[in-house]
Structure 1
Amino acid sequence: MKRRFLLLASTGLLAAAASLHAQTAPIRILVGAPAGGTTDTMARVLAVELGKVLGRTVLVEDKPGAGGNIAADAVAKSPPDGNTLLMSFTSHAINATLYPSLPFDPEKDFTPLTMVSTSPAILVANPSLPANNIRELIALAKARPGKLNFAIGSLGSSVHLAGEAFKMMSGSYIVNIPYRGTAPAIQDVLAGQVEMMFANVGNAQAYIKAGRLKALGVTSPKRLAAFPDVPAIAEVLPGYESNAWFGLFAPGHMNPALAKRISDAARQAIASPEVQRRIAAEGATPVGNSPEEFARFVHAEIQRWGKVVKYSGARPE
């Protein structure tokens, strides 16, 4: 009897210790993109304030590769205890169609917590390009089919699919030149090796303001306050829209109460003045929606980008 009591007591102590460890161990936010990129920046901006709200240490760990799938797979296979989260981006929805098979289900194997921010892209060109607006570009592309090039910072990314949607809706043929990252792609556009590219506003705005790149159009439905003289592509191609988004996920099948607690903390962090300021500095817009709203959005994005992927015939690297 005494031995049984001791065994039960020991088991209880071990369970309590494990629970305490789960609540005090650092939270890891995995990022499926390289350090220094916008997704990594969003994760690090959020991590500091989220740690304050939860009273926990929050670490960011970059696991780039396969369009974000390496980090996503690691999170999908992690225990849903709140200690491992994913800062993902638009490719989370694009990859559902882009890759013939995935080791996870982009909806069922994740618990959406909140969208952190959205960021439109901007179509920029080397100043030597003989087109100064979207109408002129479409006319030039149709006059020279296959002679103009888009630099692609990452195949399967939102900026890649922004170009595919542009070609689909304008009926033009522009050749993709893939690069391993946004930085080398922009450098070649600056050097005139490639005519143009779609880039996140945060990556291109300094070059535009310095006159080293010219902006032809933005992918948001309306013009941006930062570039009021740059038209929305939708002004020429009605219905055109392409925004990058960044969102926080947990592993699938998380306890609803725990998911709500982390989501509420993340949304509180996003609403803080410092996080709002840092996100705006990246040319992005803070969001902080509910898990239900974010889940519906992700589902709709998978359907929307699936049509563009199938039209373009895009394939992963």
Structure 2
Amino acid sequence: MSVSRRTILAAGAAALATSTTGLHAQDAYPARAIRMVVPFPPAGAADFLGRTVGEKLAQSLGQQVLVDNRAGAGGNIGTQAAAQGDREGYTLLLTGVPLAVNRFLFRTLPFDPERDFEPVAMIATVPNLMIVPADSPANTVEEFIAYARRKPGGATFASIGNGTSLHLAGAQFSSTAKLDMVHVPYKETGTANTDLMAGRVDVMFQTISAAAGLARGGKVKALAVTSDVRVAAFANVPTLREAGTDLVSVGWFGLLLPANVPPARKALLEAQVLAAVRDPAVAARIADSGCIPRPLAGAAFGAFIADETRRLGEVVRNAGITAS
């Protein structure tokens, strides 16, 4: 064999080896830490769910899952950051109701909820507690409705911002109970809770994780939960339906990827997220926090988001809710 022929064959073999090595490197996913963008402040239900599921994912994937809280603009800041993330499966978005309602609240969005994201899996629904000050004359939903109707100037309800799931729950309750309550938006949970305890507002539909300590400590009274079934964390508190008001209003959270991530990587993440939520220890932690585990695969989660977008859009339009 001539020297030139041996050289050509050796070069070809080296090129093939390099190509094969490259393919294996691409298939070794995940090869580094995954960033989970949470477009809400730390210490809330979203942050808790993201960290709880993220810990389990880190175990199963063998890589860190780093929670990146990017709060602001009703969730739009973090959502935009995730939309601009990599397309290799190293950026996740943990999102909820804002993904469905913000298109109805803001003139424009810096992202397209359908075009820029692909649903991975749903994690949980988040019922709210209907809470009133400890010294409120109302001890039941029926008594609160009667109190709100006779209060001069009307009753007030707090939320942590226009268009949030807490605002939507209050607006829906006001409409269903045929009340004319005044919405009082706050920028964060702590101030809203403080003003409720002081009686400066009359009622609040608060996430169970944010209200549990106050209710158990006797600082507020829990009159009902907004889910269709009672929650384990407050098994003695009736649902709104049980209390005579035909209303179910819950928040929800799940994980999405930026669009166009390789299908095999998306499938792997979907399987691992579903396995994490179904893990008995993880499910118990979620339930103990007052949330309800609800593992839904990507396609079903996408259909759920579409349904919520239609339903909540109607709520926003009927109540005349805007972002400011």
Q: Which moved more, 1:10-19 or 1:191-200?
A: 10-19
Q: Which moved more, 1:94-103 or 1:139-148?
A: 139-148
1:86 corresponds to which residue?
Answer: 93
Asked if 1:99 corresponds to 2:99, the answer is: no
Q: Is the 8 A contact 1:222 1:234 kept in 2?
A: no
SS at match of 1:267: helix
One-letter amino acid matched to 2:114: E
Q: Is the 8 A contact 2:286 2:292 kept in 1?
A: yes
Which is greater in Rg? 2
TM-score normalised according to structure 1 size: 0.90
- Report % sequence identity: 35
SS at match of 2:234: coil
Q: Which moved more, 1:19-28 or 1:76-85?
A: 19-28
One-letter amino acid matched to 1:138: I
Q: Is the 8 A contact 2:132 2:203 kept in 1?
A: yes
One-letter amino acid matched to 2:74: G
2:38 corresponds to which residue?
Answer: 31
Match of 1:300 among 280, 298, 307: 307
Structure 2 regions of 5+ residues with no counterpart? Answer: none
How far did 1:17 drift? 9.5
2:140 corresponds to which residue?
Answer: 133
CA distance in 2, matches of 1:23, 1:232: 43
CA distance in 2, matches of 1:94, 1:171: 23
Q: Deviations over 1:3-28 (max 9, x none)?
A: 9x699789959966983797312110
CA distance in 2, matches of 1:304, 1:141: 27
SS at match of 2:63: coil
Structure 1 regions of 5+ residues with no counterpart? Answer: none
Q: Is the 8 A contact 2:177 2:245 kept in 1?
A: no
Q: How does 1:1-317 map to 2 (within 5 A)?
A: 19=26, 23-144=30-151, 146-235=153-242, 239-317=246-324
Q: Deviations over 1:227-267 (max 9, x none)?
A: 34433222355541111111011012333322111100111
Q: Is the 8 A contact 2:231 2:292 kept in 1?
A: no
- Residue 76 to residue 11, structure 1, CA distance change in 2 (3 Å): farther
How far did 1:142 drift? 2.5
Paired residues, what number?
316
- Residue 20 to residue 231, structure 1, CA distance change in 2 (3 Å): closer
SS at match of 1:75: helix
Q: Is the 8 A contact 1:93 1:301 kept in 2?
A: yes
- Residue 227 to residue 23, structure 1, CA distance change in 2 (3 Å): closer
Q: Deviations over 1:82-122 (max 9, x none)?
A: 10000112222121322222122222321111111112101
- Residue 213 to residue 19, structure 1, CA distance change in 2 (3 Å): same
Q: Which moved more, 1:180-189 or 1:296-305?
A: 180-189
CA distance in 1, matches of 2:223, 2:198: 18
SS at match of 2:251: strand
CA distance in 1, matches of 2:115, 2:173: 31
Computed over aligned residues only, the root mean square deviation of the Cα atoms, in angstroms, reads: 2.6
CA distance in 2, matches of 1:314, 1:132: 29
CA distance in 1, matches of 2:246, 2:107: 28
How far did 1:170 drift? 1.8
- Residue 228 to residue 43, structure 1, CA distance change in 2 (3 Å): closer
